[in-house]
Homo-oligomer: A and B are copies of this chain.
């Protein structure tokens, strides 16, 4: 049986061959399924579906049928307000689950757009529910994954409600860094898949502010920026930017 640790340390390349593995990281990884349960799960998962850069995996308003596990690539999820303002609610990379917002109304409430050529596994939600009735570990894990999304959202609220531009950017870069690290990529050097405007939308800033703040970090020797390539040169100082208490 595959232990959580083993899979967690696998490089993305290793994850490519099995669709079960792809969905494992977020949906059903740390749960120790039996062989039988694994193969049940396997049946559930349809062929991997490729999504080209710029394409939508789904859009707000479309009927909800499935969750999607990102197998490969990079997505942004965003909501559009009635008056047309976009708010990016998250960036999602391999192993993460998309579409949980849609369960509540059986209609997608976000757009999910691929920011690079990507692949997803489609997980029909009614199958997940059926299976999770028979496999308590899966049930438990589904709940954890949804809860984790709520916790993540609370973190973003804290960021948007309390932090200054510099802190937001620092938090953003450190978060990306950490997530790349988990996936076996460099934590200190990575390529941003999104525009400054999309970063700004996520962080509640205008694109000019994002650009300026990145430049400032560069001037301070914290990072190196070459267009979308970011190198973190002083992670500790970035972290200090976050922990420094400003008020009271």
Contact = CB atoms under 8 A, between A and B. Distances in A.
Interface residues of A, number: 51
Nearest to A149: B150
Contact of A139 (B129, B202, B203): B129
Interface stretch (A40-48, A79-87, A219-227): A79-87
Contacts of A201: 161
A140 to B, nearest CB: 7
A104 interface: yes
A176 interface: no
A102 interface: yes
A245 B84 CA distance: 8
A38 interface: no
Nearest to A82: B243
A204 B162 contact: yes
Contacts of A174: none
A165 B127 CA distance: 44
B87 A161 contact: yes
Interface centre among A144, A149, A242, A243 (most CB of B within 10 A): A149
A154 B84 contact: no
A231 to B, nearest CB: 25
A104 B129 CA distance: 18
B139 A133 contact: yes
B129 A79 contact: no
A147 B243 contact: no
Interface in A195-248: 201-204, 242-245, 247-248
8 contacts: A81-B158, A110-B154, A143-B146, A149-B150, A150-B150, A157-B157, A160-B204, A162-B204
